[in-house]
Chain A
């Protein structure tokens, strides 16, 4: 990676054919998995398999065509990889819906497929409208205000709704959206624009403590504001996940921009301090910590609010899956509460096993890797920060939720990107992918060259 990054990426191939092939493969895997669920549950290929397959295939073909026309130099791997996880998510939701078990009434693969379609439309619109990602730099503060507004909108009386103890939803009649999902993208755009403008100042060294150069005290402002907002989300909305996601992403981007390790240390100290304080003051935060340390304890298992029953059911599901999994449609993943949304990773682990989860994590890791590669190859600081920030956001979100459901870290509610059922998150993530695709198109485009012989140039350009 370092060799390639040292110089601008040498004329990359567009690899459109390979992309189409991989896209077909991703849709094919999804269709086979869908058939597998039907065969295991009802002994026959599901009636909707063709509509389903054609639906997903059609959406992805549309996404591909838009990408080929408006972002021809874009990374060829990102779209197929995202299609695969989105498809696996759809199959798992379908499988859980089909169990008709108690508590799975909210699962609807049809809704999720429609949302995927809308997500692809947003993906296309973003690519078509946003011809140059640097245009976003001019919208830095607008993005900041939009992000902040979206973040606090659930607290507006009459608009916000409290679900499962967290006030992170806003409702318009029957429709509810989770604005934090959209807010995170707006805020990454804001961070990128802001940090590009201020990074020289923020990088100035102040006092030196031991072997670390501390930043100047007056430059602590932005960090403290973000910290306060994150803690506000934690306290007022009881949304640990978004709080952690937001602050972590900001610190990572601050580090990329300023190259100062001290910011990371300050960030970690601030967050740990804040979380510790919150743990002392708020029961729901403390409950999460207790459960994390000993989830199997009967007392925690039986606790109604902030108990470990859901986490343990998720672990039981993964344990039941073992190395190879029970096979799609042959386990009992619906026993896990919210197996179609927050705990879809555990549900997948039961039926696809360790093997399936490792593959899934590899796919996610590849998406992140392609994003970071784009960041390396980008030619201007804003694009670098934007791509790096979005990629880190994706990795960090996955770490928080997957780490949570596997009890690596305390559980905080977040969706598994592209897999969990939920329109807001899916749409937001498709926009995120559109931005990554747009930046990768810019990064991989050969630099403009002086045209000496128009005919020759056209012949050799691929």
Chain B
């Protein structure tokens, strides 16, 4: 029987060999495929295995942090203090995706970035668990709160962005309606996905960060750009240069003509530039646009940073002056209508550029990134984005914008003891809804600490003098400026 026992031994050997080959196949060859499978919960747990870094504002206010649950599945869960207030900045950290800073700085927050290689190596030797880096934002919590409260009080949708004009640091960024990131950062996929679907389907688009992700016709606030192009075109021009201001501006090639707001007259038909801006007359800026031509207007918008791909680090939707069409279209675009579309951030950059002697700084949100031990990984390095106008032109524009607040449409933005510069806007929308109320401003005018843009969607409820951006949007801007200036 020994022969057959030996053959059986060979058979057993073959069985073991087959098992070993197959185990190799499963664990070495197919392993990647298995780990990528959506049904494999391990990927899901991995997201929660590392203690993500904190997101803070102003170095101390904690916006988001990870709490240790001690569970082996969802070890660290994300918590948001004042979630709704900062929702569009921090974003959420859901089982399968993330948004805002959580997404943009994910590799640093979860510690996988190559910038943290040294830290990870040290942790490996000291046996400490890897922790993510902490991200500190440029947000000024007081300004953020003021902006959120004021905008919410309007009861409308809208957005506000405030910048430090000298550095480009974003001091406040609010978009309404908002959502609670905690609801999207739970560990129950079912709950999170159901809630996400609800929010995504909501017509008011609470998930959208309107401040950087939505473009609107800028309306009259755009007239400062037109004015900038006009002043840049000829050094001899100034606030007191006389411009044509007919009651209606005939648009070449069409049978229609461009009226002023509410069909009103603008002075005596020939007015100083500063007056046209104070009263926000349409006809002078329409004719200036046509006089300068598309190329010069387009160039000026680009000098304010339009057309540039910007990340703050979240990517910003590009603003656009519109395509080259006929003269009539150019006149409309020059007063912020037609195809002219701006993000609130872009409008804030325009105000900031004028405030900063003509230089637009690159806007940014991240002030400082430190590793888990507090050692600096990255510090904000303010960068010039573009030279929008000469310092002289900036000075003239500032003078005119101060006049708009002191003598013009934006008197509601006045702050006692502080000189504010600003420009109102009321942007018609194509559908038959009430126009949007805009306001851009900076203060103090002689040493600007803050520049901002605010839009209240359909905020200019009714037609009439009361309905301009000056009425709805300017008081909101005032409250935010006060929060920053009055320490």
Are A and B genuine complex partners? yes
Nearest residue (CB) in A for B7 is A255
User: Is B4 a contact of A259 with CB atoms below 8 Å?
Assistant: yes
Which residue in A2, A252, A354, A403 is a CB contact (below 8 Å) of B19? A403
User: Is A408 a contact of B1 with CB atoms below 8 Å?
Assistant: no
Instruction: Collect the chain B residues with CB atoms within 8 Å of residue A368's CB.
Output: 12, 16
User: Is B19 a contact of A318 with CB atoms below 8 Å?
Assistant: no
User: Is B40 a contact of A357 with CB atoms below 8 Å?
Assistant: no
4 pairs of A and B residues whose beta carbons are closest in the complex:
A319-B34, A354-B27, A319-B31, A395-B12
With A354-B27, A408-B18 as given contacts, are A257 and B1 in contact (CB-CB < 8 Å)? yes
With A256-B1, A332-B41, A349-B27 as given contacts, are A319 and B8 in contact (CB-CB < 8 Å)? no
Instruction: Collect the chain A residues with CB atoms within 8 Å of residue B32's CB.
Output: 319
Given A332-B72, A372-B12; 10 other pairs, CB 8 A cutoff: A5-B2, A252-B11, A315-B34, A316-B40, A320-B31, A321-B31, A323-B28, A357-B27, A398-B19, A402-B19
Say how far A380's CB is from chain B's closest CB, in angstroms.
10
Per-residue 0/1 for B27-53: is the Cβ within 8 Å of any A Cβ (1 yes, 0 no)? 110111111010111100100000000
Nearest residue (CB) in B for A302 is B39
CA gap between A353 and B28 in the complex, in Å: 10
Instruction: Collect the chain B residues with CB atoms within 8 Å of residue A101's CB.
Output: 72-73
Which residue in A318, A321, A388, A395 is a CB contact (below 8 Å) of B5? A388
With A1-B9, A332-B41 as given contacts, are A315 and B18 in contact (CB-CB < 8 Å)? no
User: Is B16 a contact of A365 with CB atoms below 8 Å?
Assistant: yes
Instruction: Collect the chain B residues with CB atoms within 8 Å of residue A353's CB.
Output: 27
**Interface of chain A residues 252 through 271 with chain B (CB within 8 A):** 252, 255-257, 259
User: Is B23 a contact of A358 with CB atoms below 8 Å?
Assistant: yes
Query: How many of chain A's residues touch chain B, expressed as a range?
Result: 35 or more
Nearest residue (CB) in B for A332 is B42
Per-residue 0/1 for B282-315: is the Cβ within 8 Å of any A Cβ (1 yes, 0 no)? 0000000000000000000000000000000000
Instruction: Collect the chain A residues with CB atoms within 8 Å of residue B377's CB.
Output: none
User: Is A399 a contact of B19 with CB atoms below 8 Å?
Assistant: yes
B465: interface (CB < 8 Å) = no
B264: interface (CB < 8 Å) = no
**Interface of chain A residues 346 through 385 with chain B (CB within 8 A):** 349, 353-354, 357-358, 361, 364-365, 368-369, 372, 375-376, 381, 384-385
CA gap between A369 and B31 in the complex, in Å: 31
Say how far A395's CB is from chain B's closest CB, in angstroms.
4
Say how far B187's CB is from chain A's closest CB, in angstroms.
14
Say how far A304's CB is from chain B's closest CB, in angstroms.
15
CA gap between A396 and B24 in the complex, in Å: 20
User: Is B35 a contact of A406 with CB atoms below 8 Å?
Assistant: no
Instruction: Collect the chain B residues with CB atoms within 8 Å of residue A230's CB.
Output: none
Which residue in B9, B27, B33 is a CB contact (below 8 Å) of A323? B27
With A320-B34, A406-B19 as given contacts, are A252 and B42 in contact (CB-CB < 8 Å)? no
Most buried by A among B2, B35, B40, B45: B2
Instruction: Collect the chain A residues with CB atoms within 8 Å of residue B81's CB.
Output: none
B200: interface (CB < 8 Å) = no
Instruction: Collect the chain A residues with CB atoms within 8 Å of residue B41's CB.
Output: 332, 335
Instruction: Collect the chain A residues with CB atoms within 8 Å of residue B37's CB.
Output: 296, 312, 316
B26: interface (CB < 8 Å) = yes
CA gap between A1 and B12 in the complex, in Å: 14
Instruction: Collect the chain A residues with CB atoms within 8 Å of residue B72's CB.
Output: 41, 99, 101, 332
User: Is A319 a contact of B26 with CB atoms below 8 Å?
Assistant: yes
CA gap between A335 and B44 in the complex, in Å: 12
User: Is B39 a contact of A301 with CB atoms below 8 Å?
Assistant: yes
User: Is A319 a contact of B33 with CB atoms below 8 Å?
Assistant: yes
User: Is A259 a contact of B13 with CB atoms below 8 Å?
Assistant: no
Nearest residue (CB) in A for B18 is A408
Enumerate 22 A-B pairs (CB-CB under 8 Å) in ascending A order.
A5-B6, A101-B72, A259-B1, A316-B39, A319-B26, A319-B27, A320-B31, A320-B34, A320-B42, A321-B31, A322-B28, A358-B20, A364-B16, A365-B13, A368-B12, A372-B8, A372-B12, A375-B5, A376-B2, A388-B5, A399-B15, A408-B22
